[in-house]
Structures are given as structure tokens and as C-alpha cells.
Amino acid sequence: MTLTDRYLKAVAAQLPKATRDDIIAELRDAIQTRMEDREESLGRPLSEAEQEAVLREVGHPLTVAARYGSGPQHVVGPELYPWWMFGVKVALVAMAAITVIGLVVRVFAGDMMAGQAIGHAFANVFNGAITIVGLATLAAFIIERQKEKPAFIRDWRVKDLGLFEIAAFDADSVSRALSENGPTQTGSSLGGAADRAQGRVRGMSSQMSPAARGVASAIAWAVFLLWWTGLLTTRDLRPIDLAVTIDGVSYSQLVIQTLGLIYWPVIAYALARIVFGLARAAMPGSVRLTGLGDLGLSVTRACFYGWLWMASPLSPLIRADSLQTMIERVATMVQTHDWALATILMLVVAIGFVTSLFEASGALWRLVTGKPSPGADRLKPSLV
């Protein structure tokens, strides 16, 4: 077997059977022509080393076979790469938010030291980042191999470009935020930096178009759904890992019971948020559509808070029979500086319920009138 035969055999192994023979015949003729031209220029037959040099000029068998392959020869192409990078950044921000909230709860509950929480936060974000990048790459791989690229790549509007301002919230932004107050006042500096960072995110959200908020919301809720179902693994952020007993009450058991009851409803709600976010991005000018979606989601949240208040395992701790009782509990907590967890949860649920009703009224206004809610410029909807 000659070197050319060995070379062509290696190439043929990488080709589809339907076109293998034709391609090999064409490639054999091209190689033979090169060999003959080289022999003519030298005036003698080629040595084995010179034949190998010619074959090396043709290219490695894997590379040559790829030239005859169908479809793109890349995972994420240059046209889709900026979208891939943007999606990864938004997803990582959502993952970091989930991680920070979970660990802050554990530190507040006294179940974990602050230094330990910081170490676990880095581990969680790193592990989550691997999953996010992998899923984003898989999605991009599938999109690249479609006959037509999605409409969001081909059709875009200048007024929707505020979406990409989220991608500017990167490590450099966080570093600048942490260094603005200097290194001498660590506690106040971190707190001020967090407030400024949150302000920047809110500012970007308020400037984004409905399409921008829809895409960002869909990505954020997709990350939450992956975390909720356990596909996005994290350390020490599961309720079962939380062992908190305050005033004789095992909050960990109550939370586990509550989450067991709402597991599937939360999945359904997250899927609805993802679908609604994509619908808002596809039809950003439809005020009534967004009003209908926001109305349904707001009413769902109000029902959830009402269930927590009236019938959940946490209800005996957080429910107040009257407004006066609620005010008295809050006043007692403030006067005694005894920040009872049950009272804090009561306030969170009550505020969430009232906020959901307020958002539902605004959504109903948009649905009926087809116009933005009064004060919409001051109260932009959040990403989630």
C-alpha cells in the first residue's frame, strides 16, 4: 500500500458512505496531479519523504474530510457568538443572585459563618457556570445547524438595543463598585457597593425596551428553573441542608414541608414566566398582550402569598388575625430590637401580597385600555 493509499484510506474513514467514493476519486486525481508536477520539476521520481511532504501540503485527513462535510464546521459561529456570550452573562448574573440570596439566608439564620459562606459562594457559582456554559453551547450548536437562523438574529430594532446593556455588568463593574469607597471602611464600603451595583442593574432595567426585559426575564427564569429542579447543582443551598431552630420552632422542617407542596406549581409558574418573556420579546409593542400576561402572573403571585398566609405550614407563625395585631407585632419587634424571624416573614408575605395586587391593577388597566399604566415611567417592571 502506497503512502497515497494510506492517506486516502484515512480520509475515507471520516466521510459519509453516500459520497465517499466520489470524493476519494476526486482527491486521488488531485494528489496524483501534484505528485506528477513535483516529479516533473525535479526530473526524477519522488522519494518516500518527498511524497509525504506533498501529502502534508494537502492537509491532515481530518481537515480535508471536514472540507467535504455538510453543515457548519464550528460549534458557535461568529454571527451567533455575541448572542451566546450575552446569554451566558445574563444567566451567570441570575445564578450569582440565587447563590448570594441562599447563602445570606443561611448566614442570617446562624447556620453558616460568613467566611464559610463566601467560600461556598465561589464554589456554587463555579459549578453553576460550568452547567450554564454547557447548556448555552448546546443550544448554540443546535441553532447553528438550522437552515434558517432565528428571527432575533436577522430582524432587530435600534430601540431594542438596551437589552445588551446588561452584558456590561461584568467583573470590572463589580471591582469598580467595590473600590469606590476605598479599602479602609470594609463594611460600609461593601454595603455601599452593593447598593450602587443594584442601582446600576435597576437603571439598566428601567432603560430597556419590553423586548429586552422579555429576553432577560426568560433567561433568568430558565436559570431559576434549572436550580429549582436540581439540574443546576449548588452546595448547601437546599432547604434540607438548613438546620434552624428558633424559639423552639424548626423552620427547616416547615420550609421543607412548604416546598414539597409548591414544587410542581413553582415549575409551572417558572415555565409560564419563560414563555411570557419570550412572547414579550417577540411582540414588544403589544400592550394588551403584556397586560394579560402580567395580570395572570400577578394574580398567581397574590394567590400564592394568600396561601402562605392562610393555609401553608408557615401560616400559624406568620398569620395575623387583624391589621392591629400585625402593627403590634411590628411595633414590639422594633421597640425590643428582637428581630423575630416569624414577624419578618409576616411582613415579607404581606408586602408581597399587596405588591402583587398593585401590579395586577396596573396590568388590568393595560389590558382594558391598551395604554401603559399611569406612572409606568416611574415603576418599570423588573426583569423577573
- What pLDDT was estimated at residue 223? 87
Within the chain, residue ranges assigned H as helices are 3-12, 17-42, 48-58, 61-67, 81-108, 114-144, 151-154, 171-179, 186-207, 210-228, 251-282, 287-310, 315-318, 323-336, 341-369
Residue 347, in any domain of the structure = no
Give the model confidence (pLDDT) of 94-105 as tens digits. Answer: 888 877 777 776
Mean predicted confidence (pLDDT) in 108-125: 69
Q: Is the pLDDT of residue 272 over 90?
A: yes
Amino acid identity at 165 = E
Mean pLDDT, the chain, rounded, equals 76
Question: Residue 38 is part of which domain span?
Answer: 3-67
Q: Choose from 201-205, 206-210, 241-245, 281-285 the range with maximum mean pLDDT.
A: 281-285
Residue 351, in any domain of the structure = no
Q: Return the higher-pLDDT residue of 18 and 121.
A: 18
Q: What is the largest CA-CA distance in the chain?
A: 107
- What pLDDT was estimated at residue 191? 41
Q: Is the pLDDT of residue 262 over 60?
A: yes
Q: Return the higher-pLDDT residue of 266 and 279.
A: 266
Residues 176 and 233 in one domain: yes
Residues 155 and 186 in one domain: yes
Mean predicted confidence (pLDDT) in 334-363: 88
When pLDDT is cut at 50, 70 and 90, the band that residue 384 belongs to is: very low
Burial class (CB in 10 A: 0-12, 13-18, 19+), 49: exposed
Mean predicted confidence (pLDDT) in 168-184: 47
State how far the Cα of 179 lies from the Cα of 193, in Å rounded to an integer: 8
Mean predicted confidence (pLDDT) in 133-161: 72
Residues 106 and 13 in one domain: no
Residues 128 and 11 in one domain: no
Q: Is the pLDDT of residue 174 over 50?
A: no
Phi, psi of 164 (to 5 degrees): -80, 0
When pLDDT is cut at 50, 70 and 90, the band that residue 158 belongs to is: low
Residues 167 and 134 in one domain: yes
Residues 160 and 122 in one domain: yes
Q: Per residue in 179-216, is it b (16+ CB within 10 Å) or e — as a string?
A: eebeeeeeeebeeebeebbeebbeebbeebbbbbbbbb
- What pLDDT was estimated at residue 202? 47
**Picking from 50-54, 312-316, 326-330, 339-343, which range would have the lowest pLDDT averaged per residue?**
339-343
Q: Per residue in 147-173, is it b (16+ CB within 10 Å) or e — as a string?
A: eeeeeeeeeeeeebebbbbbbebeeee
Instruction: Pick the last residue of a domain from 209, 237, 265.
Output: 237
Structurally, how many domains does the chain consist of? 2
Q: What residues does 249 pair with on adjacent strands? A: 246
DSSP 8-state secondary structure symbol assigned to residue 93: H
CA distances from 57 to 35, 243, 330 (A): 11, 66, 81
Rounded percentage of the chain residues whose pLDDT exceeds 90: 14
**How wide is the angle at C-alpha 275 spanned by C-alphas 357 and 101, nearest 5°?**
65
Q: Return the higher-pLDDT residue of 24 and 123.
A: 24
Q: Choose from 58-62, 123-127, 189-193, 368-372 the range with maximum mean pLDDT.
A: 58-62
DSSP 8-state secondary structure symbol assigned to residue 56: H
Residues 129 and 184 in one domain: yes
State how far the Cα of 74 lies from the Cα of 141, in Å rounded to an integer: 8
Q: Is the pLDDT of residue 300 over 80?
A: yes
Measured from the Cβ of residue 292, the count of other Cβ atoms closer than 10 Å reads 16
Residues 109 and 202 in one domain: yes
The size of the chain, in residues, is 384
Reading the block at residue 310, the C-alpha cell is 392562610
Distance, first Cα to last Cα, the chain: 66
- What pLDDT was estimated at residue 188? 42
Is residue 120 within 8 Å of residue 103, measured between CB atoms?
yes
Residue 33, in any domain of the structure = yes
- What pLDDT was estimated at residue 14? 83
Measured from the Cβ of residue 308, the count of other Cβ atoms closer than 10 Å reads 23
For residue 100, the number of C-alpha atoms closer than 13 Å in the C-beta half-sphere is 7
Residues 210 and 160 in one domain: yes
User: Hey, is 180 helix, strand or coil?
Assistant: coil
pTM score, whole prediction: 0.64
Residue 142, in any domain of the structure = yes
Instruction: Pick the last residue of a domain from 67, 98, 113.
Output: 67
Instruction: Pick the last residue of a domain from 40, 67, 94.
Output: 67
Mean predicted confidence (pLDDT) in 267-287: 85
Q: Is the pLDDT of residue 159 over 70?
A: no
State how far the Cα of 126 lies from the Cα of 128, in Å rounded to an integer: 5
- What pLDDT was estimated at residue 43? 87
Give the model confidence (pLDDT) of 6-16 as tens digits. Answer: 989 998 888 88
Reading the block at residue 283, the C-alpha cell is 411582540
Is residue 109 within 8 Å of residue 247, measured between CB atoms?
no
Residue 90's closest CA among 204, 192, 177? 204
Q: Return the higher-pLDDT residue of 186 and 117.
A: 117
- What pLDDT was estimated at residue 306? 94
Residue 119, in any domain of the structure = yes
Residue 254, in any domain of the structure = no
Mean predicted confidence (pLDDT) in 175-186: 44
Residues 63 and 156 in one domain: no
Residue 97, in any domain of the structure = yes
Residues 60 and 204 in one domain: no
Residue 259, in any domain of the structure = no
Mean predicted confidence (pLDDT) in 179-203: 44
CA distances from 355 to 64, 249, 298, 352, 378 (A): 62, 29, 9, 5, 15
Q: Choose from 188-197, 231-240, 352-361 the range with maximum mean pLDDT.
A: 352-361
- What pLDDT was estimated at residue 304? 95
Q: Return the higher-pLDDT residue of 79 and 196.
A: 79
Residues 49 and 96 in one domain: no
When pLDDT is cut at 50, 70 and 90, the band that residue 323 belongs to is: confident
Amino acid identity at 163 = L
